[in-house]
Structure 1
Amino acid sequence: MPAMSSQPDLAPNEQMPTEEPPAPVRKRRRYLRISLIVLVVLVVLGGAGALAGGLYLHSIEKSIVRVDAFQEVPEQSRPVKAVADAQNILLLGSDSRDPDNTQGSRSDTIILAHLAKDRSSAQLISIPRDTWVHVPAAKGGQGNRDAKINAAYAWGGIPLVVQTVESFTGVRVDHVAIIDFAGFQQIVDAVGGVDITVEESFTSIHPPYRHFAEGRQHMDGATALDYSRQRKQFADGDFARIRHQQQVIRAILDKASTGGLLTNPGDLNDFLRSTANAVSVDNTMSIVDMATQLRHLRGGNLTFLTNPSNGTGTVGSESVVFADKTKDKALYDAVNRDAIPEILKAADN
């Protein structure tokens, strides 16, 4: 599987920060191979548990790689957990095969997934990769400066991403979930493709230059992956890419939970074995427990949100997204209190 670059993603004509980050340890680089669909995998595993039983899930869990996401996060800097039974999972995403990748840059995705304490719903909050935040100091002295949020990995790996997200949101991260983006295409194909409503017609900038016509269309894995990568054709750029990824996540989840995948033992086994091999999670996450808790989630129980912003601009030569600090505080205060109606209201305002 391809290794993750240590460089944060840069827009054209941007310059790297003056601090040159050291190359991450080889073992750590292995873990930042990620995708947005890890929550979908967990939900499908939950459905599998209902079908195949706990022993089967335990055998799947043994093949999943573990990552030490919290050891280097100073406990004194971490937010206090407000609602014991609610869960906050940090989902990280990067496409190492993205045709836009140049000089090792990556298209990072950061999602804070909040699971309600009764597990009746989940809110997935996308934080744009160019959001301008304060990145805390990493072990070794990197960071401790304002930068794009996706610079955190370059300076301190997954622990610094956790620390940066916690510092920015004030929300304590309970778990980190990671999956190779190559699994995205595989999962879409495994469920027989997905139906997506394209909001406006456009043509992909990547070979084979697919045309996406406005309206409802069926997409196989390669087409859905291509659709999820596009941003340069849209006035709101990366925000459009986030919307498209959210569309595909919901479509996969609905198709996996309502289609024949969960009732065909052979297809289910092949699907789970191949996707589980791509998944990495933190040392404390139990796939068995999490899958069991999430087994009743469906697309209708998921709400996709985007971190409130004051639009885009520049800092020096860098193109950035400015967070709306007032709305952010209202949103993440509600997340901390597991106040679902307030979470949705804060995101809508």
Structure 2
Amino acid sequence: MSAESTPDPGIPGESGTTGPRHRAKGRRRKPRGNRRKGLLVTAWVAGGIVVLGGTGVGYVYFKLNGNLKSVDIDQALGTNRPTKVDNGSENILVLGSDTRSGSNQKLGGGADDGSARSDTAMIVHVYKGHKKASVVSIPRDTLIDRPECTDTNGDTHDAATDVMFNSAYTTGGAACAVKTVESLTDLRMDHYLEVDFSGFQKLIDELGGVKVTTSRAINDPDSHLDLKAGTHKLTGEQALGLVRTRHGVGDGSDLGRIQLQQAFVKALVEQVKDVGLFTNPKKLYDLADTATKAVTTDSDLGSVNSLMSFANGLKGISAKNMNMVTMPVQYDAADANRVLVDDTKAQQVWTALKNDKPIPKSATKGTATGQANGVVSAG
């Protein structure tokens, strides 16, 4: 399986456009204004830390179990969903949320209004045998047709046309985000994992930082990031700045940020493998405690035992066996701050995943990019 990272375009905003949608290739304009950026955390990293933390600290099982939050996606969405594919593979929707309440207010840079958005969305496809994975990032600013959905409180939300992808989570939370992804891909999401700003930052600090190399300087006052070219051991705050930055690299689009996120994920996966947790019980417990407080899962993963079992099946996936791409999109000629799904190429991605096959390189050739590839690498 290849390990290429193909970025997608997109820029944050409040709602979708209502004008005509035209696909357009070419260089993306710099986005206007200062907009909030999101974060990135991967399913197997959060779950992997939990499994490492849970092993050997059974005496704190009930403490860790009490930390977990879960949502009943199956109950909310009912039976009108894509059929589960019984071929040994799994699909996990991973969201990074930027709630503006509590400790996230400072990190997110907004008022404590209790609102939340999915600033990062990734479909993690784990292949049969759980030795390889493909990760498809969905740009938050992709214009889509959002389906009608029922949230976990039982409230129904109307369908909407030409709205941003991340409006699904804002409108109806986890259940509506899953419904929208399933409508977009015709792939059943077997699991759901969500991590927020403060949880991400704490996890990185508990790990002792993550080592990355930047091929050139990155300076973005909006995300409070200032890195010279070279190798760095990023703190939680710096890591959060890296996965949130848009203006510091590439063409200033959300697609460039996705490329940085994908590179950071690979560095993080390698870091988790080398922490040496089993020789340090206190660090092991601290990581487990932080991770279980940081994540929200679907109800099937809503206990430490379930999450440990799930994560244990992902530990064999190394960075070199992760193919990271972005959902094929093109810049929207009608709005420089939006992107549109390249339907033909995107279908190649969804068909490959449904059949548990590698994503063909042709699926991402000629699609929009954020021009930030190669700026960050592991170690």
User: What TM-score, normalized to structure 1?
Assistant: 0.81
Letter of the structure 1 residue corresponding to residue 214 of structure 2:
V
Residue 331 (structure 1) aligned to one of 342, 349, 365: 349
SS of structure 1 residue aligned to 2:208: coil
SS of structure 1 residue aligned to 2:46: helix
In 2: Cα distance, 1:201 partner to 1:34 partner:
20
Cα distance change on mapping 1:232 and 1:150 into 2, 3 Å: same
Letter of the structure 2 residue corresponding to residue 272 of structure 1:
A
Structure 1 counterpart of 2:308: 288
SS of structure 1 residue aligned to 2:147: strand
Query: Is contact 2:11-2:253 (8 Å) kept?
Result: no
Residue 303 (structure 1) aligned to one of 312, 323, 326: 323
Structure 1 counterpart of 2:370: none
Structure 1 counterpart of 2:119: 108
Q: Post-superposition shift, 1:314?
A: 3.1
Name the structure, 1 or 2, with higher relative contact order (CA <8 Å, separation 6+): 2
Query: Is contact 2:187-2:350 (8 Å) kept?
Result: yes
Q: Post-superposition shift, 1:35?
A: 5.0
Structure 2 counterpart of 1:60: 64
Pair 1:70 & 2:81 matched: no
Range with bigger deviation, 101-110 or 173-182:
101-110
Q: Post-superposition shift, 1:58?
A: 7.8
Query: Is contact 2:82-2:182 (8 Å) kept?
Result: yes
SS of structure 2 residue aligned to 1:203: strand
**Structure 2 gap ranges (5+):** 1-9, 19-37, 151-155, 366-379
SS of structure 2 residue aligned to 1:52: coil
Q: Post-superposition shift, 1:329?
A: 0.4
Pair 1:170 & 2:186 matched: yes
In 2: Cα distance, 1:225 partner to 1:180 partner:
11
**Structure 1 gap ranges (5+):** 1-8, 19-32
In 1: Cα distance, 2:174 partner to 2:184 partner:
15
Pair 1:132 & 2:143 matched: yes
Q: Post-superposition shift, 1:191?
A: 2.0
**RMSD (Å), alpha carbons:** 2.9
SS of structure 2 residue aligned to 1:310: strand
Letter of the structure 2 residue corresponding to residue 235 of structure 1:
D
Letter of the structure 2 residue corresponding to residue 211 of structure 1:
D
User: What TM-score, normalized to structure 2?
Assistant: 0.75
Q: Post-superposition shift, 1:105?
A: 7.1
Pair 1:322 & 2:340 matched: yes
Cα distance change on mapping 1:48 and 1:154 into 2, 3 Å: closer
Cα distance change on mapping 1:138 and 1:10 into 2, 3 Å: farther
Structure 2 counterpart of 1:29: none
Structure 2 counterpart of 1:82: 85
Residue 192 (structure 1) aligned to one of 185, 208, 216: 208
In 2: Cα distance, 1:166 partner to 1:83 partner:
17
Query: Is contact 2:94-2:124 (8 Å) kept?
Result: yes
Structure 1, residues 21-80: CA drift from partner, whole Å, max 9, x if none? Answer: xxxxxxxxxxxx98524420212333446x52878768634531111223232423x222
